[in-house]
Structure 1
């Protein structure tokens, strides 16, 4: 396959056929008038092709404000394809084509990019994740089961030493993974260098004493040159996981980190609601996660089951599975990443999170689910490990727990959420 396919959910006042034609023209050879230079030969070589149009409904009012109006607003799925020669294998140009000016077309009163099908050549052209799940376990010196993790809280306001003191209590509790919050990067109140130095003293001391390497995802998100300097600092101190806010850094920024990095790349999707929250405009996670994986993220946030945000459980499950699915359906490297569950997670979500994937290659981040355990953080971590062990053995946690153990205490502490899968 030498073409890229994209499917859009659109609404239009000018009819689906006309809207699809405008969309395809705008994003390839066409403009608002036919140009002399737009020859038949050029169109045959470079024009986008409308592959299919499927009507799905109509409305009497537009979903979004639009200058063009009509008696009805027709809804449908439109699949368009482009020759690979238009943009090669450039991620930024691909995104400019599939999600560029078409979002502003007056002929569209709704548009959402819902699917993207890439050829194997696109997968081969990008390095993808450098380490993935297997490499993540290797950085830890070997590890069985899901990674039990947490987030530095409060998100902002701690000094570098405050952060290190909190990390000391977390590694003592037996945690596998700790990450900065997306809000904490390199502000003057908690500079990156000072924070990294203080935290890595704790991490390295703990490894020397116990033989266990806890992963610390240091938020390096910044200008590209500064991110590279942050990575160099990490390498000097033995830090092995760099967190990047993928939307903030952009495709080129993430790829520059991948090309410069000897560390794992922990992809945080801060700002994801801008793309996803409206059914009438945006980009699906199925599309964006492929771009982020091609750029090189080893871990990627997917929200959590029974979370505190707006996504339902089916959407979260679909996102988690997508991250472990080959980036192209047509061959080439799979470029799979490690999904990261977070947001209001407790012992109740581990089993369904594992069942969604059918494996243990995920990170399970809990904040209150660890820190609010009635017997303290160490018992909180242990309760999650017991829940993971029960899930591996296919035993409900109610039957696996013993009276008074950390798991039974957590069951009494945290209400069982309603999970719909």
Structure 2
């Protein structure tokens, strides 16, 4: 077998680099790393007589980093191992047969770094955050949206009415859920017409730009037909379930260049991302989605994390309405929101104790926010979302219609 380990190798700018976690199966990390490298490139499970020096010299990847303590490796792949603009082919190599190898108990693709040549072979987002802010006219605050519930069951007019209530209640965005496409009780074309009609009404009444994200997920030809229907009827956005539709479908939609913002729903991602020892991270999925061309990716977190986030957000809003420097008022606000989450409730007690011990000090909002993020152990993506939301200085309360739609 060729030697794929080269810890002295310095990756080139043209290399595609993957980071993997390995759980070993009675072999050394070096041997396991070699198997990952060969199976994801020019080798296979056994020696082959057709391998030659030219292939090995020009295309053999290099395992250039091994962390034996954490069982993490990094592999640099020659860019010519991959077809430009073909994500299925790329993933068939670096995220294909390797997951079924018996030489490792578990294998997880943690991260990918794409070279410029591959990046340029995909369109990438047409709008991105700056383009979306230009469309909406919202520059200095987060975009706030909701999803029509129940997921399935409402007819076209009922769906449009929920969207209207959310928009006139102060929200910017309303979207279909992941499994609402074109149903017997809710036809896609009729739903789009009715909901866009109510969007126009809400825009006229509020003087604000409102967004509707219809789910165009379907077989690729039908998907494009539906996206064009949205465009023809004055829609600005479409949503697609990127995992269940597949990367080729997403690329087909982006390459059609319809001038629509693409919102990505990640339904099905947990089949890859949930196991912390095996599969593919959400980071990798997000990078691929952006590379192909989604403008925004729906990101959620676990229930307790979400409860904690709601606690943090509501606490911050209420603290703005109080005199933030007065610790007793802060404590009262905190107590009122203990019900928002089991995890939050337990950690609030510690915060209250701290507030009491520092009664002589003025606590600013940033200090309390940081403490909550730390105490509640909010994940990085939640903290970033919290920072974005909490930086909104408008202090505008949500209308009752919006609160109803959010339930």
User: In structure 2, what is the equivalent of residue 216 of structure 1?
Assistant: 212
User: In structure 2, what is the equivalent of residue 197 of structure 1?
Assistant: 193
Q: CA deviation at 1:186?
A: 1.7
User: In structure 2, what is the equivalent of residue 248 of structure 1?
Assistant: 244
User: In structure 1, what is the equivalent of residue 78 of structure 2?
Assistant: 83
Q: CA deviation at 1:26?
A: 1.2
Mapped partners of 1:228, 1:174: distance in 2: 31
User: In structure 2, what is the equivalent of residue 285 of structure 1?
Assistant: 282
Q: Which runs of 4+ in 1 moved over 3 A?
A: 141-144, 343-350, 395-400, 408-417
Aligned residue among 283, 298, 303 for 1:301:
298
Give 3-state SS (helix, strand or coil) of 2:222's partner.
helix
User: In structure 1, what is the equivalent of residue 120 of structure 2?
Assistant: 124
- Change beyond 3 A, Cα 1:410–1:150: farther
- Change beyond 3 A, Cα 1:199–1:108: same
1:346–1:414 Cα contact (<8 Å) kept: no
Task: Output the TM-score relative to the length of structure 2.
Answer: 0.73
Give 3-state SS (helix, strand or coil) of 1:115's partner.
strand
Task: Output the TM-score relative to the length of structure 1.
Answer: 0.71
Corresponding position: 1:26 with 2:39: yes
1:299-349 per-residue CA deviation (whole Å, 9 max, x = no partner) reads: 112214xx417xx6xxxxxxxxxxxxxxxxxxxxxxxxxxxxxx5587544
1:347–1:410 Cα contact (<8 Å) kept: no
Mapped partners of 1:286, 1:397: distance in 2: 37
Aligned residue among 339, 342, 346 for 1:415:
339
1:347–1:411 Cα contact (<8 Å) kept: no
Corresponding position: 1:269 with 2:255: no
2:307–2:340 Cα contact (<8 Å) kept: no
Aligned residue among 56, 63, 67 for 1:43:
56
1:38-60 per-residue CA deviation (whole Å, 9 max, x = no partner) reads: 10111111122222222126xxx
- Whose strand proportion is higher, 1 or 2? 1
Aligned residue among 161, 167, 184 for 2:163:
167
1:308–1:344 Cα contact (<8 Å) kept: yes
In terms of mean alpha carbon deviation, does 151-160 or 252-261 score higher? Answer: 252-261
Corresponding position: 1:237 with 2:233: yes
Mapped partners of 2:169, 2:187: distance in 1: 26
Q: CA deviation at 1:280?
A: 1.9
Q: CA deviation at 1:411?
A: 9.5
- Change beyond 3 A, Cα 1:98–1:349: farther
Q: CA deviation at 1:84?
A: 0.4
Mapped partners of 2:377, 2:40: distance in 1: 39
Give 3-state SS (helix, strand or coil) of 2:57's partner.
helix
What is the root-mean-square deviation in Å for CA atoms of aligned residues? 2.7
Contiguous gaps of at least 5 residues in structure 1: 58-75, 313-342, 351-382, 401-407
1:348–1:416 Cα contact (<8 Å) kept: yes
Mapped partners of 1:234, 1:344: distance in 2: 35
User: In structure 1, what is the equivalent of residue 181 of structure 2?
Assistant: 185
Mapped partners of 2:62, 2:236: distance in 1: 45
- Whose helix proportion is higher, 1 or 2? 2
Mapped partners of 2:323, 2:310: distance in 1: 14
Q: CA deviation at 1:120?
A: 2.4
2:199–2:210 Cα contact (<8 Å) kept: yes
User: In structure 1, what is the equivalent of residue 69 of structure 2?
Assistant: 56
Give 3-state SS (helix, strand or coil) of 2:104's partner.
coil
What is the total number of aligned residue pairs between the two structures? 324
User: In structure 1, what is the equivalent of residue 20 of structure 2?
Assistant: 8
2:181–2:217 Cα contact (<8 Å) kept: yes
Q: Which has the larger radius of gyration?
A: 2
1:350-401 per-residue CA deviation (whole Å, 9 max, x = no partner) reads: 4xxxxxxxxxxxxxxxxxxxxxxxxxxxxxxxx89x94xx9xxxx756547x
- Change beyond 3 A, Cα 1:279–1:245: same
1:27–1:48 Cα contact (<8 Å) kept: no
Mapped partners of 2:253, 2:36: distance in 1: 34
1:221–1:227 Cα contact (<8 Å) kept: yes
